[in-house]
Structure 1
Amino acid sequence: MNKSRKVGKYEVGWVVGEGTFAKVKFARNCETGEGVAMKILAKSSILKHRMVDQIKREISIMKIVRHPNIVRLHEVLAGRAKIFIILEFVTGGELFDKIVHQGKLPENESRKYFQQLVDAVAHCHSKGVYHRDLKPENLLLDAYGNLKVSDFGLSALPLQGDGLLRTTCGTPNYVAPEVLGDQGYDGAAADIWSCGVILYVLMAGYLPFDETNLYTLYSKITAAEFSCPYWFSPEANKLIHKILDPNPKTRIRIDVIRNDPWFKKKYAPVKYREDEEVSLDDVRAVFEDIEDQYIPERSEIKDGGPLLMNAFEMITLSQGLNLSALFDRRQDYVNRQTRFVSRKPAQVIISNVEAVAESMSLKVHTRNYKTRLEGISANRMGQFAVVLEVYEVGPSLFMVDVRKAAGDTLEYHKFYKNFCAKLKDIIWNPKEGKDSSNLLRTRAC
């Protein structure tokens, strides 16, 4: 059955992301016409996994840290069974995708992103918030190329007493050495280390610490065993070594970074209202009395077939009003969220997807023209999962949305290319007017 629904004043559209506990959909504010990202969490799942306090903390923190270089949280709504977090819709994709496509970035461009990252992190720290999972996959780009920090799921507020944090968390390649110990660590210093790793990756195109064996990786991180490539300027090299200091007590602080000559080149601090009032009333209402805050979910049922994508969704999906991006074969890069077009019937598309997935030894789960593929990651360190969903965009014209649900993003890039090569008989090339291996690709949302 096809469903198009509204949640409060928002018209809900397609899925733009999916994780273990939440799904993110594009939605439109019917009062203003503004596009937003709607993060949807099932109340039952939150309760089952005892994540109420963590989700409440994440939402509260995102409302507190309002800054132009941080993804903005607009409001929180509650349904009978779900919680809806309304976020700024960022259209430029992940910084990670830019690195994968482009490789190392020019020093001036890397510095610009680093300046924006440091400003955002400094703002968080001024509010007593520590992100603890800073990495390119959690840094988004808006339509103007400005950086936006996202995903505060592992963020923390300082504890009472010595003010040190003790939970070991984050992504191994970006985590500070002191976080790996059990003596407690300063959240600000740990975030600064992660910023240094990100700057290195931007300028080098690869990680300073990258080992498949975790013991070897942690040993190199603890010893800060790395070297900068020859194309780094002496000034950048010097700053990175001050940031990637394994001793958190002597590691450079954010205020000193901001006064560094290399950092200050073409530095233009963003202007924003620092005294903006923030209310957490909606957060309290959602978690304290969810039933009283019921927001009606109105579903319009259509007969059979895959979901229909209307003109508004097509335009928004294709980066503004430029529809050529949907069918331009010159866009030869693959992002985290990827799509292709087919002229085959929806059921044929699903059957081919299932057959190819099974030939790749992946587990297949299909329901209502939506298929989830699951397997073990290449390094056998966790689960790898992909979700494909079929949309009808015109008479006998279908778009297949493919997105990573779990696992490493770089591994997803490799999987996508291989998977689509096996589906070449059903992928349509609009310029040639027949099925071919040409892919439809758009930016990650």
Structure 2
Amino acid sequence: MSNPKIKRRIGKYEVGRTIGEGTFAKVKFAKDSETGQPVAIKILDKDKILKHKMAEQIKREIATMKLIKHPNVVRLYEVMGSKSKIYIVLEFITGGELFDKIVNDGRMREDEARRYFQQLIHAVDYCHSRGVYHRDLKPENLLLDIHGSLKVSDFGLSALSQQVRDDGLFHTACGTPNYVAPEVLDDQGYDGATADIWSCGVILFVLLAGYLPFDDSNLMNLYKKISSAEYTCPPWLSFSAMKFIARILDPNPVTRIRVPEILKDEWFKVNYKPPVFDEKEETNLDDVEAAFKESEEFHVRENKEEQQPAPMNAFELISMSRGLNLGNFFGVEQGFKRETRFTSKCPASEIINKIEEAAKPLGFDVHKKNYKMRLENVKAGRKGNLNISTEVFQVAPSLHMVEVRKSKGDTLEFHKFYKNLSTSLEDVVWKTEDDMKGTK
């Protein structure tokens, strides 16, 4: 039996769970209601765009990305706008991240790593030729499709807040420290193309070695290692692979190998077959312009569901009770449940703030998304880091139900956490789940 759920729609898309989130945007899974095609929708905040005077730059980058139809770059299908948001509809990739493949399977054989690297370089070069630079290339931004082919995500969209100055160089250090080029750290300005090539070199090293070439818990030491290209190749690498990596991880961007030279390198050339694809498909850019217009006629309809706690109808409330909730027969570990609930008469925003105040002293990082929270324990337990998901539901105008659920980690540790949490929330909790059962 499935609970009826209010569906959020953006234009013709039915929007589901959050599948990614950053400081500048969040990404939702969605489905085209007309075709059933799954897509990913990247949501940008218009106020932030205007505040940083970035509208023209973002519009330009989005328009360029829409023109890019490379088989190894995630496609951008269309752009929509509401009064407060920009919605970028992207290709949804089902094969996961390349990062997960490295974590699960370890280092790759040279022929396998080379195949992914060839796809990466062709995609990067294609985008560079159109003036689009990534600036945050890392395995987490490299996805795999159902056929195992590489798909670069966030190209041109990962560093939207960065500006090119009059000297034609970028001046904002961005990206993940371990993958960032030395010239980016120097803050003297850098060329986006050569900086991306460096990051590609770090990725290749990770694929072949199974570990990072530059790594240190002390950030200053890490920067020194990067600036002097201080790394050690593992003994199992072939001499031609070592020589190739050294040409890419050259700390001097002027002498660092460029794409034309990469394509001629003896290690890179083995079994290299450039992808064949059709670029002739016509692209309409009217939606990009419309998404940024203030005129009411261009606004897509957006459900404001996320601006307040999700409402809970009677059926959903009953299904959470012990009598009807089949989930209680599953997910039980050592006599402990993986989730619990309580009700509160406090305002939803106050409940969220109180949980945050209580969780931080217990060693948890707090990530808030409207009336949902993700708590991550920075210290690993018996089964890795304990992750907790919480959500506030509105049962009545002055009554909320709070669900606290273990999403990762040890169940016993979850119950110890909840015991400590409930002590801190005594002034918030009206009735616990056990209290609610006792009233039946």
CA contact (8 A) 2:341 2:404 kept: no
Counterpart amino acid of residue 204 in structure 1: A
Distance 1:344-1:166 versus aligned 2 partners, 3 A rule: closer
For residue 269 of structure 1, report the CA deviation from its aligned partner: 1.7
Kindly state the Cα deviation for residue 107 of structure 1 after the two structures are TM-superposed: 1.6
**Inter-partner Cα distance in structure 2 for 1:297 and 1:174:** 37
The residue aligned with 1:371 is 373
Alpha-carbon distance in structure 1 between the residues aligned to 2:209 and 2:313? 52
CA distance in 1, matches of 2:250, 2:338: 56
Q: Which residue of 1 is the match for residue 363 of structure 2?
A: 361
1:98 partner letter: K
Deviates more, 1:87-96 or 1:180-189: 180-189
Deviation of 1:29 (Å): 0.6
Alignment of 1:145-294 (within 5 A): 145-151=148-154, 152-154=157-159, 162-289=167-294, 291-294=296-299
Corresponding residue of 2:389: 388
Counterpart-to-counterpart distance in 2, 1:367 and 1:156: 22
Gaps of 5+ in 2: 306-310, 318-329, 331-336, 344-350, 380-384, 393-402, 418-440
Q: Please state how far the C-alpha of 1:290 moved relative to its aligned partner.
A: 5.4
Query: Match of 1:185, SS?
Result: coil
After superposition, the C-alpha distances for 1:112-145 in whole angstroms (9 at most, x for unaligned) are 1111110110101111222111111111111221
Superposed displacement of residue 254, structure 1: 0.8
CA shift digits 1:131-165 (9 cap, x unpaired): 11111111111122111111232169995865333
Q: Distance in 2 between matches of 1:295 and 1:44?
A: 17
Task: Confirm or deny: 8 A CA contact 2:374 2:387 kept in the other structure.
Answer: yes
Question: Counterparts of 1:142 and 1:22 in 2: how far apart (Å)?
Answer: 23
Deviation at 1:421, TM superposition (A): 6.2
Larger Rg: 2
In structure 1, what is the Cα distance between the partners aligned to 2:175 and 2:284? 29
C-alpha displacement at 1:185, in angstroms? 2.2
Give me the whole-angstrom Cα distance separating, in 1, the residues matched to 2:97 and 2:36. 24
Aligned to 1:136: 139
1:385 deviates by 12
Q: After TM superposition, give the deviation of residue 279 of structure 1 in Å.
A: 3.4
- Per the TM alignment, residue 20 of structure 1 is displaced from its structure 2 partner at its CA by 2.8
Q: 1:368 to 1:165 in 2, by over 3 A?
A: closer
Q: Does 1:303 align with 2:319?
A: no
Give distance in 2, aligned partners of 1:365 and 1:178: 32
Alpha carbons 2:182, 2:227 under 8 Å: kept:
yes
Q: Secondary structure at the match of 1:297?
A: coil
Counterpart for residue 320 of structure 2: none
Contact 1:346 1:369 in 2 (8 A): no
Change in CA separation of 1:82 and 1:136 when aligned onto 2, cut-off 3 Å: same
Alignment-derived partner of residue 101 in structure 1: 104
Q: Which amino acid aligns with 2:389?
A: L
Verify the 8 A CA contact 2:135 2:174 in the aligned structure 1: yes
Whether contact under 8 Å (2:248, 2:256) holds in the other structure is: yes
Alignment partners' CA distance in 2, 1:208 and 1:267: 25
Match of 1:432 in 2: none
Deviates more, 1:213-222 or 1:359-368: 359-368
1:32: which partner in 2?
Answer: 35
- Equivalent pair of 2:81/2:298 in contact (CA under 8 Å): yes
Change in 2 beyond 3 A, CA 1:304/1:54: farther
Using a 3 Å threshold, how does the CA distance of structure 1 residues 284 and 175 change in structure 2: closer, same or farther?
same
Q: Do the aligned partners of 2:54 and 2:161 also contact (CA within 8 Å) in 1?
A: no
Give the direction of change, closer, same or farther, for the CA distance of 1:356–1:177 in structure 2 (3 Å limit): same
After superposition, the C-alpha distances for 1:262-293 in whole angstroms (9 at most, x for unaligned) are: 21222222221234443332112111335331
| Cα distance in 1 for residues equivalent to 2:133 and 2:386 | 29
Could you say if the C-alpha distance between residues 347 and 64 of structure 1 is closer, same or farther in structure 2, counting changes exceeding 3 Å?
A: farther
Question: TM-score when scaled to structure 1?
Answer: 0.71
The question of 1:65 aligning with 2:75 is answered: no
Aligned to 1:9: 12
Letter in 2 for 1:154: A
* C-alpha distance in 2 between matches for 1:163 and 1:359: 46
Equivalent AA in structure 2 for residue 280 of structure 1: L
% identical aligned pairs: 55
Q: Secondary structure at the match of 1:3?
A: coil
Cα distance in 1 between the residues matched to 2:303 and 2:187: 50
- Which residue in the other structure is 2:59 paired with? 56
Q: Which residue of 2 aligns with 1:316?
A: none
Q: Deviations over 1:152-204 (max 9, x none)?
A: 32169995865333332222111111222243322211111110000001111
Asked which structure has the greater RCO (Cα within 8 Å, sep 6+), the reply is: 1
Further displaced range: 85-94 or 157-166:
157-166
Corresponding letter in the other structure for 2:204: L
CA RMSD in angstroms comes to 4.0
Q: What amino acid is aligned across from residue 106 of structure 1 in structure 2?
A: R
Give 1:70 shift. 0.8
Contact 2:171 2:188 in 1 (8 A): yes
Residues 41 and 128 of structure 1: CA distance in aligned 2, closer, same or farther (over 3 Å): closer
- Is the 8 Å Cα contact of residues 132 and 155 (structure 1) preserved in structure 2? no
Runs of 5+ unmatched residues, structure 1: 308-326, 328-341, 379-383, 392-397, 403-415, 427-445
| Rounded Cα–Cα distance in structure 2 between residues aligned with 1:161 and 1:260 | 34
For the 8 Å contact 2:340–2:405, the answer to whether it is kept is: no
In the aligned structure 1, how far is the partner of 2:411 from the partner of 2:271? 43
The one-letter amino acid of 1:219's match is K
Distance 2:390 2:62 in 1: 28
Q: Aligned partners of 1:154, 1:257: CA distance in 2, in Å?
A: 25
Contact preservation (8 Å) 1:3, 1:302: no
Matched-pair contact (CA < 8 Å) for 1:3–1:299: no
